[in-house]
A and B are shown apart, each in its own frame.
Chain A
């Protein structure tokens, strides 16, 4: 059975801290791994990773995929209260555009 597991499930940090969120997967026919941020309603896209070892960066956020370890990390440096959200990891599989989501990591950044 295909599955995606995220850890930790929740995290409380203070502004300025650096956090690392984890996503591991066990799927057949891996296609890509995606990270989303969900603040209130609709998840918004952060990164899509297909190749192992290539870091993607956007401002204070960065992510990397390790296909050997079947995992990915999302790093957020110098956290701000606006980073408080649920961070979702999804894996696209096969030829059918099907996505499996993890349960998310709820990040709370305190002032």
Chain B
């Protein structure tokens, strides 16, 4: 059963703590993405990766870090440097090469207090 999984679904953290969000796909896709969604603001790109061991900053990368050591996995770390981390985080993948469609995971809702 192919798809993208994200865990956990809900995450609560105290201010000042780093937290890592998991994203795994078994679609054999080359490209993977992390987006942040806030109410009324659509999806904003945090980081994306076209291939293993390579990734690029999106529009709002400050305070976040990623790694792409395996094709299937693209974890996102929300660091204490991120000023307003409470948000809904979506991971996506696509086949790359201009294939267009992205497939999305179910998302992780992070609350930092």
A residues adjacent to B (C-beta < 8 A): 6, 9, 31-32, 34, 41-45, 48, 50, 88, 90, 92, 95-104
Contacts and interface: CB of A to CB of B under 8 A. Distances in A.
Interface stretch (B13-21, B65-73, B76-84, B92-100): B92-100
A42 B103 CA distance: 9
Nearest to B95: A97
Contacts of B45: 98-101
Contacts of A92: 98, 100
Contacts, number: 60
Nearest to A92: B100
B16 to A, nearest CB: 28
A92 B96 CA distance: 11
Interface of B: 31, 33, 35, 40-45, 48, 50, 56, 58, 90, 94, 96-98, 100-107
A26 B40 CA distance: 20
20 contacts: A9-B40, A32-B98, A42-B90, A42-B104, A42-B105, A42-B106, A43-B43, A43-B104, A45-B103, A50-B100, A88-B43, A92-B98, A95-B98, A96-B48, A97-B48, A97-B50, A97-B96, A101-B35, A101-B42, A102-B42
